Structures are given as structure tokens and as C-alpha cells.
A = this chain, B = another copy of it.
Amino acid sequence: MVRRVLSPRRRKAGLPPGTPVHIGEAGGPVRLTVYEYDEHRSTERVLDDPAECGTLRRDSGVVWINVDGVHDVETVTTVCEAFGVHPLVQEDIVNTDQRPKAEEYDGYLYAVVKMVSQSGEALAISVEQLSLIVMDRLVISFQQRPGDVFDALRSRIRTGKGRVRREGADYLAYCMLDAIVDHYFLLLEAIEGRIDPLEAAVLADPEPEAMVTIQALKRELLFLRRSLWPMREMIYRLSREGASVVSESTRFFLRDLYDHVIHIIEILETFQEIVAGTMDIYLSSVSNRMNSIMKVLTIIATIFIPLTFIVGVYGMNFVFMPELEWRWGYPAILGVMALVALLMLRFFRRKKWL
């Protein structure tokens, strides 16, 4: 999941500030989808030419333009220019290595967040940067790849369920943030599902690989926290100070969302402590195993070393060794050795090594 902390930006260095240069991996096919809805109806269509954006009318209802594939710098700039978006914002949209933030510009709000989703098998987590431009009656969203966490939202727009069709562009943007935050919850559940067996595993059988798994988990949690903290700050600011395009009633919902983000962060921190605890258990398991190996070695060695000495004594070739000629010498010495072994075992038992 978290392969690199930093996307290479060597191509970028030296260019004048405000030049849009794509940073990050190239996404899938580029696609522009437009949703137009008001309380009574809702349409959606795919635009072939980004320049058509300029012709969209938004006299009633809300227009949502979704752009997949920010690696296509030209499409992004064409859409942005159609609505007079600032060059610095365009630069930020195509740079997928952004820190979540929200900035108010003249007449619109620019927000960038990290969207996490689980695809296919349970463990494949994909992270995607979502840029939002919220204007009066208009939301433009920019994604890296097709596929997102808004399917339920889209179906609510189509069917008119919930209040999204009755509210403005700011409520739509809130719904998108809410869906993103909900997916963090789902991701946390998946992570908890990986932490739980880990503890039992390291206790039973402390494999060296566990350390790598633990470190990987730590990094993922670190990454999640790193994208959630600025999101928390950003939602806090939007919900308290607001912005011109955010209505009072939406701020109310944002406050609720803020509580969710705080909750997620607290759970993340709990996970971090649990993972740290798992590492302690792992290290202690390794050392306990070492301990028990040492005990077996010590017990066997300390029992047999004296016995081997004794048999060595009677293997000496001295001419005058009276015991060797005794009739019961051999059984007697076997008995002595058995006795020594028993005394040893009692000593170990008293030391609680057995």
C-alpha cells in the first residue's frame, strides 16, 4: 500500500511557481462525467471534449463535473480555465503528492483530500488524491483513476433518496467528504482484522517476518494519520469559520463530520499503541523462546557432562585401579550415575526450570 512516501518531483524543480506539472503515477483512462440535478430531475453524461464545460448552464440545480485522470494536464487546465480557477490551484490538482488542505479563493473553495478504498481482495488498499472545487451550484472533482467511493452517493442523486437533491453544491461536497471518511472507518476495520491475529501469532510462534509485518502496519497507520490530521484541521476550519460557499446548514453537518474524523484519529492512535504492544510481545516471545532453548541445553548438558566424566574415569588405563576388578563395579557405577542424574533433576525442578 504505502510504497513510497514521496513522489519523484525532479522534473518539477526549477520551473516557475504556478506551472502545472503532473507528479505521481499515471492513472487510468481520462474521462469527464457531468451530473446535473435539481430537486425534480437528474441527468448524467460523459463529455468527450473538456472545452464543453464552458457551455454548462447552472441556472437551477447543481452541476457536478467529475474528472478521472489528473495526469492529463491539458484536460485539467482546460476545465479549470473554463471556470477561472487560479494557476496555483491547477498546479496543486495535478500534483498528487499534496497535503490535505482547504483554501478559499475568490468565489470558490479548493479542497484536496486523500481517498482510501479497498478493491478486489480484502488487503489491496488504494490511495487516491481527490481535488474538489466548490462554487455556487457547481462542484468539480478531480481523481487520479476511475473508480471511487461515491457509488452510493451517485445512486442517491439518481433516486433522490436523502436530502442531497434538495441542497446546494456545498452539501454535495460535504457528502463526498462524508463518504471518504466513512471509507476510512471501513479501512480501519480491515486493519483491525489484521492486527488481531497478529498478536496471537507472535505469541505462539515468533517468526522474524512478524517484525516486518508489524513495521508495515506501523507505516500504514503513520500514513493514515498523516493524511487524517490535516483533514481534521481543514474540516474543523470549514465547520467553525466556514467559507463563503458553505451555507450555515452544511456547516452543521461538517461539525458532525469533524466528530467522526476525531473518532477515527483516536482509533488510529489506539491501533498504534496496540501495534507497539504487539511488538513488545513479539520481542518478549523471542526472548522467551531463547530462554526455553537455553534451559533444554543446560539441563541436558549439566546432566551428561558429569556422567561423561565418570565414565571417562573408568576408561583410564591405570594398571592399579581396584574398582575395575570388583565383581559389582560396573552395576555400582551405573547406579551412582543414575543417582547423580536424579539429584540433578531435583535441583532443576527446585529451580523451576522444568
Contacts and interface: CB of A to CB of B under 8 A. Distances in A.
Interface of A: 4-6, 8-10, 12-19, 88, 97-99, 101, 151-153, 156, 161-164, 174-175, 178-179, 182-183, 185-186, 188-189, 192, 199, 203, 205, 208, 211-212, 215, 218-219, 222-223, 226, 252-253, 256, 259, 262-263, 266-267, 270-271, 273-274, 277-298, 300-302, 304-309, 311-321, 323-330, 333-334, 351-353
Contacts of A282: 284
Q: Select the residue from A192, A262, A301 with max chain B CB neighbours within 10 A.
A: A301
Contacts of A287: 283, 286-287, 290
A182 to B, nearest CB: 5
Contact of A212 (B192, B203, B205): B203
B286 A17 contact: no
Copies in the complex: 5
A258 B314 CA distance: 82
Interface SS of A by simple majority:
helix
Nearest to A316: B314
Given A9-B186, A283-B287, A316-B324, 16 more contacts: A5-B271, A5-B274, A13-B152, A14-B152, A14-B182, A16-B164, A17-B174, A215-B280, A283-B284, A292-B351, A305-B308, A307-B309, A313-B334, A314-B318, A315-B315, A316-B317
